[in-house]
Chains A and B, each alone.
Chain A
Amino acid sequence: MKKLLAIVLVLALAMSLMSGCSKKDDGKITIGIGQFAEHPSLDNCREGFLAGLAEAGYKEGDNLEVLYENAQADGGTATQIANNFVAKKVDMICAIATPMAQSAFGAAKDTDIPVIYTAITDPVAAELAKDDKTPNGNVTGTSDKLPVESQLEMIRKILPNAKTIGIMYSTSEVNSVSAIEEYKAAAADYGFEIVESGIATAADIPLAADNLLEKVDCINNLTDNTVVSSLPIILEKAAAKNIPVFGSEVEQVKIGCLAAVGLDYYDLGKQTGAMAAQVLKGEKKASEMNFQIIDQAAFYGNSAVAKNLGITLPDDLVSSAKEMFDTIAEQ
């Protein structure tokens, strides 16, 4: 009985491995989208990417098949996903966020599957591109460099008397570490002092938030996957102490951040989709396209939050805002 079970298992294993390799040839393009973590900014990226592709003629369901996998912020899973896409011989891999892009690049290196990345703060530091922005292989995409100076300028306009800005970040995210350095370098120009608080996991956030809120006049957010995923806790604690929290992106302002000079990740995704379409159509190769940086940052504000804090948002910012929110959305 045991032997029979063992033989059946081995046969099932062998058959399934074999079935995994046949590729349906029905003229559809298959794109594997690997997203590193699950939070609204990255989700917006993905949706923008699909929209960008649709605009260029690749509609999901018609001539496009999309395989979407989320690594849930686990490095090992990201590599697994990338290897799986390569084994399935997809026509292109779209990687969202740095660890996913690196796994995809490593997996697709010896194949001719192009990798398009998005939501990567520093492709040069991630060794996906060389110092002169040319690709390090069949890989290209878009970069979401944080508009640090614009953010500091905005905070100074909204809080003319604030002295300290607290920034919480995850020590396991290299994009956050480099952003903190940029903030520290630029803060003095606007009369601010940056107080940083590094956490290792999401579980550390509540205590770290309590600690940070004691020392600062306001809190600022980076595009840190771990911290942003736990933003509601930070917002709750900050609201209790009447301390404003500034965001880095529109989704954060929706759920309770006072304001943000942020990128529109949907647009970022769309731009990436356009680049991907160029590669798919054969107009250009990924190895020939330099990565593109999005720096069209726009102001977003939340008047409901401003009212709760007793702060008036300056008129010039409000009138130039891309979008103003007057409610605090439930996450």
Chain B
Amino acid sequence: MLTILLGVLEEGLVYAIMALGVYITYKILDFPDLSVDGTFPLGGAVTVVLIIAGVNPILTLFISFFVGAFAGILTGLIHVKLKVRDLLSGIIMMTALYSLNLRIAGKANVPIFTKDTIFENAFLDNLVPEALKPYLVSIILLIIVIIMKVLLDQYLKTKSGYLLRAVGDNDTLVTSLAKDKGIVKIVGLAIANAFVALAGSIYTQKSGFFEISTGTGTIVIGLASVIIGTNLFAKRPYFKVGKIFKNIFKKNYYFKATTAVIFGSILYKACVALAIAAGMAASDLKLITAVLFLIILIISNDRKRRVKAND
């Protein structure tokens, strides 16, 4: 039982960082960014090359972050400067990154089992007591996720973050504030892809090897997490999580969108684990994802229709 829960938590947290990136592009910028299928393994490819070269694993996290930001800038440039549609610029980057990732990693499968990673190194071996070892991965992931979430929340409160939200809702506002909406979009894409590449780096260090095919389907997992999270947990009064807190603390408590996305990611992975435990073939996972997606979307849309009818 515990193994399953820990597994779900670990997977959910790794993908939560990626989901935060997809949240930025899909929800805030209103830009469906398919390049994440290429940026996720980009983080992984960069990481294995650096780790094999002996670079400190924590440093590889930072480097992957910036490499991902660079990839995001490229997507942004294609969209803004070359005037390619959002969906297509993402697809172009995703396709280009397949070849680039192979070049960076050198081959399609690069193992780092014998090397130090952020989850397995001498420092941790000395520091952590035996009793905590099974939870070590979850704890490290939790720390990283919380740091990234707080950073993102703080960023969204800044002027730059405000512009990001403005460009997604009503980009005329941005122009009327004498800011270049193109630059704002590029910044948003850079940050989002940085998050995704970071997630890719962590995922590769956790798996112990880089495999070129692990990027496929990243956007689907990200979107599922974002949609499940924001529809079930975020500032929507119909889902009565807030009510429980209201009764205890005597005030309304709603989850921030970023927290909701993290929960969404964990919940999505829980559903997948549930489906496998129930005996579904691993190859049916995509069908399960689609059905889950649809159910969540129907639940949320339903509510919207009701509100309209009451007007």
Take A16-B277, A70-B283 as given contacts and tell me if A21 and B1 are in contact as well, using a CB distance cutoff of 8 Å.
yes
**Interface membership of B303, Cβ < 8 A:** yes
**Interface membership of B131, Cβ < 8 A:** no
Take A87-B277, A102-B208 as given contacts and tell me if A173 and B239 are in contact as well, using a CB distance cutoff of 8 Å.
no
> Which residue of the partner chain, among B111, B212, B239, B271, contacts A6 with CB atoms under 8 Å?
B239
- Closest A residue to B115 by CB, please name it: A127
User: Interface residues of B: mostly helix, strand, loop or mixed?
Assistant: helix
User: Would you give the shortest CB distance from B27 to chain A, in whole angstroms?
Assistant: 21
Contact A3 B240, beta carbon cutoff 8 Å: yes
Contact A20 B209, beta carbon cutoff 8 Å: no
Q: Residues 66-79 of chain A: 1 if any B CB is under 8 Å from the residue's CB, otherwise 0?
A: 00011111111101
User: Would you give the shortest CB distance from B281 to chain A, in whole angstroms?
Assistant: 7
**Interface membership of B98, Cβ < 8 A:** yes
Contact A21 B4, beta carbon cutoff 8 Å: yes
**Interface membership of A171, Cβ < 8 A:** yes
Q: Residues 135-158 of chain A: 1 if any B CB is under 8 Å from the residue's CB, otherwise 0?
A: 011000000000000000000000
Residues in chain A near residue B8, CB distance under 8 A: 17
**Interface membership of B108, Cβ < 8 A:** yes
Contact B112 A172, beta carbon cutoff 8 Å: no
Contact A171 B102, beta carbon cutoff 8 Å: yes
Residues in chain A near residue B111, CB distance under 8 A: 102, 125-128
Tally of B interface residues using CB under 8 Å: 50
Take A13-B270, A99-B211 as given contacts and tell me if A105 and B113 are in contact as well, using a CB distance cutoff of 8 Å.
yes
**Interface membership of A287, Cβ < 8 A:** no
Contact B1 A17, beta carbon cutoff 8 Å: yes
**Interface membership of A257, Cβ < 8 A:** no
Contact B277 A105, beta carbon cutoff 8 Å: no
Q: Residues 105-121 of chain A: 1 if any B CB is under 8 Å from the residue's CB, otherwise 0?
A: 11001100000000000
**Interface membership of B7, Cβ < 8 A:** yes
Interface size class of A (residues with CB under 8 A): 35 or more
Q: Residues 113-139 of chain B: 1 if any A CB is under 8 Å from the residue's CB, otherwise 0?
A: 110000000000000000001100000
Contact A127 B282, beta carbon cutoff 8 Å: no
Q: Residues 249-272 of chain B: 1 if any A CB is under 8 Å from the residue's CB, otherwise 0?
A: 000000000000000000000111
- Of the candidate stretches B57-65, B152-160, B179-187, B213-221, the one touching chain A is B213-221
Residues in chain B near residue A5, CB distance under 8 A: 299
- Closest A residue to B95 by CB, please name it: A200
> What is the bound-complex CA distance between A86 and B98, given in angstroms?
31
Contact B278 A136, beta carbon cutoff 8 Å: no
> Which residue of the partner chain, among B107, B208, B216, B277, contacts A17 with CB atoms under 8 Å?
B277
> Which residue of the partner chain, among B109, B113, B114, B238, contacts A98 with CB atoms under 8 Å?
B109
Q: Residues 84-116 of chain B: 1 if any A CB is under 8 Å from the residue's CB, otherwise 0?
A: 000000000000001100100001111111100
- Closest A residue to B214 by CB, please name it: A75
**Interface membership of B55, Cβ < 8 A:** no
Take A75-B214, A80-B276, A200-B98 as given contacts and tell me if A110 and B134 are in contact as well, using a CB distance cutoff of 8 Å.
yes
Total A-B residue contacts, Cβ distance less than 8 Å: 139
Contact A2 B113, beta carbon cutoff 8 Å: no
**Interface membership of A318, Cβ < 8 A:** no
**Interface membership of A328, Cβ < 8 A:** no
> What is the bound-complex CA distance between A20 and B271, given in angstroms?
13
**Interface membership of B311, Cβ < 8 A:** no
Contact B108 A172, beta carbon cutoff 8 Å: yes
Take A80-B285, A127-B113, A174-B108 as given contacts and tell me if A75 and B270 are in contact as well, using a CB distance cutoff of 8 Å.
no
**Interface membership of B33, Cβ < 8 A:** no
**Interface membership of A177, Cβ < 8 A:** yes
- Closest A residue to B41 by CB, please name it: A75
**Interface membership of B247, Cβ < 8 A:** no
Contact A70 B282, beta carbon cutoff 8 Å: yes
Q: Residues 136-167 of chain B: 1 if any A CB is under 8 Å from the residue's CB, otherwise 0?
A: 00000000000000000000000000000000
> What is the bound-complex CA distance between A120 and B274, given in angstroms?
31
Residues in chain A near residue B239, CB distance under 8 A: 3, 6
**Interface membership of A261, Cβ < 8 A:** no
User: Would you give the shortest CB distance from A312 to chain B, in whole angstroms?
Assistant: 39
> What is the bound-complex CA distance between A154 and B151, given in angstroms?
63
Which A residues, 288 to 315, have Cβ-Cβ distances below 8 Å to chain B?
none
Contact A171 B302, beta carbon cutoff 8 Å: no
> What is the bound-complex CA distance between A84 and B273, given in angstroms?
8
**Interface membership of B11, Cβ < 8 A:** yes
Contact A127 B114, beta carbon cutoff 8 Å: yes
Take A106-B113, A106-B207 as given contacts and tell me if A74 and B213 are in contact as well, using a CB distance cutoff of 8 Å.
yes
9 contacts between A and B (CB under 8 A): A16-B277, A75-B212, A79-B214, A80-B272, A87-B277, A102-B207, A105-B208, A106-B113, A106-B206
The 7 nearest A-B residue pairs measured at CB: A20-B277, A127-B111, A21-B1, A75-B213, A174-B109, A75-B214, A75-B211
Known pairs A79-B207, A79-B214; list 4 more (Cβ under 8 Å): A74-B213, A77-B282, A80-B285, A136-B114
